[in-house]
Chains A and B, each alone.
Chain A
Amino acid sequence: MKTMRKVEVVTDILNANDQIAQENAATLKAHGILSVNLMASPGAGKTSLILQTARALNGRLRLGAIEGDVASRVDADKVAAAGIPVVQINTGGACHLDAPMIRQALRALPLDEIDLLIVENVGNLICPVEFRLGEALRVMIASVPEGHDKPYKYPGIFTAVEAVVINKMDLAPYVEFDLTALREAIRGMNRDAAIFEVSCRTGEGIGEWAEWLWGQWQARRAPSAR
């Protein structure tokens, strides 16, 4: 008669990913890089925000980018054309970036020439938030045409981020959109998240967002750098 035994495991399912994420975080820290995991639905304006951020920072922080996409390098080409060092990751169908992909991409970037690394995650609001990359900040874009009830449909991401960028504010008069309701919903789920209202098309609000990044970078600067 075989005996059944119970063996305690208690290991996080994402353990392997998280270990590599910690290594990535250490690499980024060693190079004094502030890293941002930028998540959003397809078409919310991730690439536009990267380009506008580079413009607004105007050399104060040297940008680098990792572009995650299921396929194609359209976004990476746009970013490279702006003079930003960029690595394209094609996930080949996977719905999110993970820490091993970032480790690979970091090897291809001139880390000593980068102060702020923006990782453009694959466009969706569900899976990317499960996988830590080693990033310092998690930021999402919620664009106006997507509607003000997004937080209720995707509480996972809204509760996990350090900042929400509300993009396409220039379209607010033309679509059914209640800014107060969206702000209230974000606040309700995530009291600490910074909220920015921007338009990557007109440049409205981008300055405030760029100032916040600058502040975040300064706050993390090693004391020896002073």
Chain B
Amino acid sequence: MHELPVTEQIIKVVLEHARKADAHRVVQVNLVIGDLTSFVDESIQFYFDFLARGTEAEGAALHIRRMPARVRCHACQHEFAPDGVDWRCPRCGNLGGEVLSGRESYIESIEVE
């Protein structure tokens, strides 16, 4: 549900950058989204296609690079990717740690012509 206002914002930023670059068409939008966020790729795509109509971004491909969650163990400093609901360090068995990545949500770049 919250993908709608978020996608409105994505399109706004994309169009600003496209105009600044004197582009007449946006071909691709590259997003980076972490697995610990609640953004659903399909929802963003759905709203993007709808909201981009009639703008320079109409028909642009949406490329979403997913960042897996990475955690650094509090006990032994080992870095690992939690496997779904299992946040136990595979090296020492300690539970959880500091979140290093997985919370990203940004527009990395756009490809224009």
Q: Which residues of A contact B (CB under 8 A)?
A: 2-17, 93-96, 98, 126-127, 129-131, 149, 151-153, 155-156, 159, 184-185, 187-191
Q: Is B38 a contact partner of A14 (Cβ separation < 8 A)?
A: no
Q: Which 7 A-B pairs have the closest CB atoms?
A: A188-B96, A188-B95, A152-B85, A189-B96, A2-B113, A126-B38, A9-B107
Q: Is A11 a contact partner of B99 (Cβ separation < 8 A)?
A: no
Q: Is B17 a contact partner of A9 (Cβ separation < 8 A)?
A: yes
A sample of 24 inter-chain contacts (CB < 8 A) reads: A5-B111, A5-B112, A5-B113, A7-B109, A7-B110, A10-B107, A10-B108, A10-B109, A11-B13, A13-B9, A13-B105, A16-B9, A16-B12, A93-B1, A94-B5, A95-B2, A130-B39, A131-B2, A153-B85, A156-B37, A185-B95, A188-B74, A189-B87, A189-B96
- In chain B, residues 1-34, which have Cβ atoms closer than 8 Å to a Cβ of chain A? 1-2, 5-6, 9-10, 12-14, 17-18, 20-21, 23, 25, 27, 31, 33
Q: Does B36 contact A (CB under 8 A)?
A: yes
- Which B residues are in CB contact (< 8 Å) with A189? 87, 95-96
Q: Is A6 a contact partner of B38 (Cβ separation < 8 A)?
A: no
Please give me the residue from chain A that is nearest to B104 by CB atom.
A12
Given contacts A130-B38, A155-B69, A156-B38, contact A187 B96 (CB under 8 A): yes
Apart from A7-B20, A7-B109, A11-B13, what are 8 other A-B pairs with CB-CB below 8 Å? A7-B21, A9-B106, A13-B6, A13-B10, A13-B33, A17-B9, A130-B38, A130-B105
Q: Does B86 contact A (CB under 8 A)?
A: yes
- Which A residues are in CB contact (< 8 Å) with B27? 4
Bound-state CA distance A151–B105 (Å) is: 22
Q: Is A9 a contact partner of B113 (Cβ separation < 8 A)?
A: no
Q: Count the B residues whose beta carbon is within 8 Å of the partner chain — how many?
A: 44
Q: Which secondary structure dominates chain A's binding surface?
A: mixed
Bound-state CA distance A152–B88 (Å) is: 10
Bound-state CA distance A191–B106 (Å) is: 27
- Which A residues are in CB contact (< 8 Å) with B14? 9
Q: Does B77 contact A (CB under 8 A)?
A: no
Given contacts A7-B21, A185-B95, A191-B74, contact A98 B107 (CB under 8 A): no
Bound-state CA distance A159–B101 (Å) is: 12
- Which B residues are in CB contact (< 8 Å) with A129? 38
Bound-state CA distance A210–B21 (Å) is: 54
Bound-state CA distance A5–B109 (Å) is: 10
Please pick, from B20, B36, B108, the residue contacting A155 in the complex, using a CB distance under 8 A. B36
Distance of B17 from chain A, by nearest CB (Å)? 5
Distance of B12 from chain A, by nearest CB (Å)? 8
Q: Is B1 a contact partner of A185 (Cβ separation < 8 A)?
A: no
- Counting chain B CB atoms within 10 Å of each CB, which of A12, A93, A127, A159 scores highest? A159
